[in-house]
Amino acid sequence: MAAKKILVVEDNEDTREILLYRIKSMGNYEVLLAGHGKEALEIASRFRPDLIIMDLKMPVLDGWEATKTLRQTDWGKDLPIIALTAQAMEKDEEKARNAGCSDYIAKPVMDYKILQKKIEKFLT
């Protein structure tokens, strides 16, 4: 079976690399990376990932706007998008849902099993 493609969108390079490493260790996943929302839209339209993990606060184009744009496309309207929300920001969760995110997880991710379960919920 072909590896499912997961696009990780995160402006912090360290966080991005950790997510890459962690997600690859979770299963047969091909991980694509983007550093902001605009790059995410370009990569997503070209490679059509099966799931996106989307940071919200990013330069150039933030995660809320990128998600709203993806939801207006034919291929992106039902795509699973898991938002990375800041732990202390309760409003982030609500704003993520309003922008069309399918689910969310608080950052920094402490328990990668929770992230794994969320990914598997959408991809199996």
Q: How far is the CB of 67 from Mg ion (least distance, A)?
A: 14
* 39/55 with CB nearer Mg ion: 55
Q: How far is the CB of 2 from Mg ion (least distance, A)?
A: 30
Cis peptide before 108 (omega within 30 of 0): yes
Q: How far is the CB of 6 from Mg ion (least distance, A)?
A: 18
**What are phi and psi for residue 30, nearest 5 degrees?**
-95, 120
39 binds Mg ion (CB under 5 A): no
Distance CA 35, CA 40 (A): 7
* 13/42 with CB nearer Mg ion: 13
93 binds Mg ion (CB under 5 A): no
Q: How far is the CB of 56 from Mg ion (least distance, A)?
A: 7
Strand partners, 82: 53, 103
* Cβ contact 61:48 at 8 Å: no
* 4/38 with CB nearer Mg ion: 38
62 binds Mg ion (CB under 5 A): no
57 binds Mg ion (CB under 5 A): yes
3-state secondary structure of 85: strand
3-state secondary structure of 34: strand
